[in-house]
């Protein structure tokens, strides 16, 4: 990686800049401020841009949301984001329900709390193995190392062939309509802004098999891995030098 050639720092949020769904803290805000003096910053998220912006305490940053289905630009005058792209895909719910029920029956995932499937307005889908209203402690203990879900990951991917499938959180599979994933979203951003891939550094924690950062990790983008969000200020030091 040639630091002199880097123009854009793109990054994930949960697990990279914050603890899962927690607010951006002062140390990480200061780290972003330092990076912003040298580089353009971009958030590349799995969730909606507005949720990401609020979680970051309205930090001034452009945001790719919903794996690229949504794109928001920070408006300095309003100190808010403007949604400039918001794609919505139709969901064939009967087909999704049938496939989810197949896996529940086959792998004895029949007990769950809340809804069988979570449908997102964008067209993204979550298969919550423990249900949409599972207790936090049950979710955390179900599959913390992701081994259970990775055993059936290829089978789930094949069944949901219209989607990019990810091993999400600690107890679910997350799905985005093809071709949308973080690599596709970041590549589209670079094309629209005339930025070569070699001028981008991506920072993310979910780079393992089935992770939603894996598509970027296994690509031609420069990638900095992070396994503990608290290490972010240390990981970026070389970029600031």
Query: Which tens digit of pLDDT belongs to each residue from 34-85?
Result: 999 999 999 999 999 999 999 999 999 999 999 999 999 999 999 999 999 9
93-177: CATH homologous superfamily?
Eukaryotic phosphomannomutase, cap domain (3.30.1240.20)
pLDDT at 240: 94
Architecture of domain 3-87+181-240: 3-Layer(aba) Sandwich (3.40)
- HEC profile of 165-226: EEEECCCEEEEEECCCCHHHHHHHHHHHCCCCHHHEEEEECCCCCCCCCHHHHCCCCEEEEC
DSSP 229: G
Q: Which of 228, 94, 124 is nearest to 185 (CA)?
A: 124
For 15: left if phi > 0, alpha if psi spans -120 to 50, otherwise beta; the answer is: left
Q: What are the residue ranges of CATH 3.30.1240.20 in the chain? A: 93-177
Query: Which tens digit of pLDDT belongs to each residue from 112-144?
Result: 999 999 999 999 999 999 999 999 999 999 999
Q: Give the residue with greater pLDDT, 241 vs 46.
A: 46
- H/E stretch holding 65 reads strand 62-65
The pTM of this model reads 0.94
Q: What are the residue ranges of CATH 3.40.50.1000 in the chain? A: 3-87+181-240
């Amino acid at each position: 990686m040639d630091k002199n050639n880097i123009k854009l720092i793109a990054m994930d949020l949960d697990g990279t800049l914050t603890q899962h769904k927690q607010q951006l803290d002062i140390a990480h805000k200061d780290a972003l401020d330092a990076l912003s003096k040298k580089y353009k910053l971009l958030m590349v998220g799995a969730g909606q841009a507005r949720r990401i912006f609020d979680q970051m305490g309205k930090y001034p940053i452009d945001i790719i949301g919903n794996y690229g289905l949504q794109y928001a630009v920070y408006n300095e005058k309003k100190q808010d984001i403007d949604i400039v792209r918001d794609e919505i895909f139709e969901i064939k719910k009967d087909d999704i329900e049938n496939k989810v029920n197949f896996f529940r029956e086959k792998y004895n995932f029949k007990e769950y709390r809340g809804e069988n499937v979570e449908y997102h307005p964008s067209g993204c889908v979550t298969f919550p193995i423990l249900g949409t209203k599972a207790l936090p402690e049950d979710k955390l203990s179900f599959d913390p190392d992701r081994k259970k879900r990775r055993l059936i990951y290829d089978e789930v991917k094949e069944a949901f062939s219209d989607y990019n499938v990810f091993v999400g959180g600690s107890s679910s599979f997350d799905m985005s309509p093809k071709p949308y994933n973080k690599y596709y979203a970041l590549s589209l951003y670079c094309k629209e802004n005339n930025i070569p891939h070699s001028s981008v550094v991506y920072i993310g924690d979910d780079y393992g098999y089935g992770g939603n950062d894996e598509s970027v990790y296994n690509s031609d983008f420069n990638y900095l891995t992070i396994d503990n969000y608290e290490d972010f200020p240390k990981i970026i030091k070389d970029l600031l030098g």
